[in-house]
Amino acid sequence: MENVLLHSCCAPCSAAIIEWMLAHDIRPTLYYFNPNIYPQDEYVKRKNELSRHCARLGLEVIDGDWDHESWREAVRGLEHEPERGARCQTCFNVRLEAAARKCHELGLGRFATTLASSRWKSLEQVNAAGRRAAGRWDDVEFWERNWRKDGLQERRGVLLKTYGFYNQHWCGCEFSWRDTLLRDLQRLLGDAPKRD
């Protein structure tokens, strides 16, 4: 089986990708590196859900640091950017730089990320961050693939129900939390799109 590093943001975004990899003789080592998630309780909740699922499958999860202060420093000045804007590009850069470094340290050669499995995120931004991060190492390649295709988007929904995963309603940071609350308020007053 080929081994790859799979940077993972949460169980709902990871389960269908993990399932697909195992069915294709690829064994992922999970890397939970998400210092963007706020508050810390939420970070732990998402991490525990992923760890529970991976324990069922016998897969290793490596826990990155929750250094939210450094993440805040990286996105300083971008607090009012919308989702898919400049703050998200920086956020992806931070997380995938760490994933590429971990991939190099472990000698795994190739890494992928679950970040683009949600339709709320920009695949172009995620792929740009992955290519940029991999470019720093001679022995690391970013696996650029659309993880929403080949039925994976639908499978994501099925596995979410099958395992009853905790499924958050905001992307991760305090700014996405704020924007989700504002959207909820708008929905109460009129019409606004709902996150999946």
What is the binding site for ligand SF4 (CB under 6 A)?
36, 83, 87-88, 91, 171-173, 175-176
Helices then strands, counting H and E runs in the chain, come out as: 7, 5
Q: Which is nearer to ligand SF4, 39 or 151 (CB)?
A: 39
Distance CA 136, CA 151 (A): 33
Q: Which is nearer to ligand SF4, 88 or 112 (CB)?
A: 88
Contact 18/112 with Cβ under 8 angstroms? no
Nearest to 62 by CA among 130, 122, 3: 3
Q: Which is nearer to ligand SF4, 88 or 98 (CB)?
A: 88
CB of 93: closest distance to ligand SF4 in angstroms? 10
CB of 171: closest distance to ligand SF4 in angstroms? 3
CB of 62: closest distance to ligand SF4 in angstroms? 20
CB of 88: closest distance to ligand SF4 in angstroms? 3
Q: Which is nearer to ligand SF4, 88 or 159 (CB)?
A: 88
Q: What are phi and psi of 120, to 5 degrees?
A: -80, -10
Output the CA angle 133-28-44, nearest 5 degrees. 80
Which token pair is 6?
């799979």
